[in-house]
Every structure is written in C-alpha cells, then in structure tokens.
Amino acid sequence: MDNRQAIGSWLSGPRAAAEEAGADFGYRGEQLGLPEEGPGSIARPGRRLGALAVDWGLCLLIAYGLITQSYHDAAQVWGPVILFVLMVLTVGTVGFTPGKRFFGLRVVALDTGTVNPLRALLRTVLLFLAIPPLIWDRDGRGLHDRLARTVEVRV
C-alpha cells in the first residue's frame, strides 16, 4: 500500500476501507426490515434537524407570546419545557411533532408500530440529555431511539 492509498483510506473513513476489503454493510434500515428509499425508510439527519428546528421555533413563539415577554426567559426556561411536553404528548399519541409532520417524518416503535406515551417519555428524556442522539448505530438511529426501541421514518 503506497502513501496515497493509506491517506485515501484514512480520509474516506473506516466504513469505506472495510467495504473496499469486501465487507457488505447494506443500506440504512436493512437490518430492521425497512425499505431503502421512500415511505417507511430511515429518516435522514437533515430532515430530523429541520423538524427539530421547526419544533424549537414553535415552542419559542408559544413561550414568548403566551407565557413571558422576556426572550431570555422564553429561550432559557419556558421554551425547553414546552418542547419537552410537546414531544412527549405528540409523539406518544400520534407519532410525530408539528415539525416532523412538516418534514414528512414519523416515530414508530419497532415491535408494535405505534409509540406509547411511556416510550415517548423515555425517548424524549434521552433526547434532552443531548449525548444519546449524537451516538448513532449503522442504521442511523441515535442511542435514544435504540433504547426506546423506536425508529424515525419517512412518511
């Protein structure tokens, strides 16, 4: 292996190097029995972040407009509280938040298909800890989804 190949394998990452060696990782969601593209496939990170941004914006508007006239209190105190309640109630009942609905996403349980309120509560608590969503598996699910046995899919 010359220097170019060594640097190229380092730049492309361990997954690319393993695939070059013959490992087959498949597509995201294959191990879960989900399709590769279209409805029911694993939601991509861009859509997830967009949905979170929409939900956060709505919660800030609610906090600033209805509860407090101080932007500092809305962003620091009431916005996160409203976001927490919004996520638990909406994901635990209909499977999506307004932001997820806008971006065509839904949270489903792997075994039953619907997320019950306790599972939504666990998922939301882990999401608010901030570290679990940053640890992903090969299917693109965060640790919060793995522990709650849920997956975020496209509708």
Q: In this predicted model, what pLDDT tens digit does every residue of 62-93 receive, in sequence order?
A: 888 887 777 777 788 888 999 999 999 999 99
Query: CB burial class (10 A; 0-12, 13-18, 19+) of residue 118?
Result: exposed
Q: pTM of the full predicted structure?
A: 0.80
Query: What average pLDDT score do residues 111-121 get?
Result: 93
What angle do the packed helices 79-93 and 117-128 form, to 10 degrees? 150
Give dist(CA 112, CA 100) in Å, integer. Answer: 20
Q: Which residues contact 38 (CB under 8 A, 6 or more apart)?
A: 154
User: Residue 153 — φ and ψ, nearest 5°?
Assistant: -120, 165
User: In this predicted model, what pLDDT tens digit does every residue of 3-51 receive, in sequence order?
Assistant: 555 555 556 666 666 667 666 667 888 888 889 899 999 999 999 999 9
CB 63 within 8 A of CB 78: yes
Position 3 scores a pLDDT of 58
Give the pLDDT of residue 116: 92
Q: How far is CA 43 from CA 35, 64, 72, 136, in A?
A: 11, 31, 33, 13
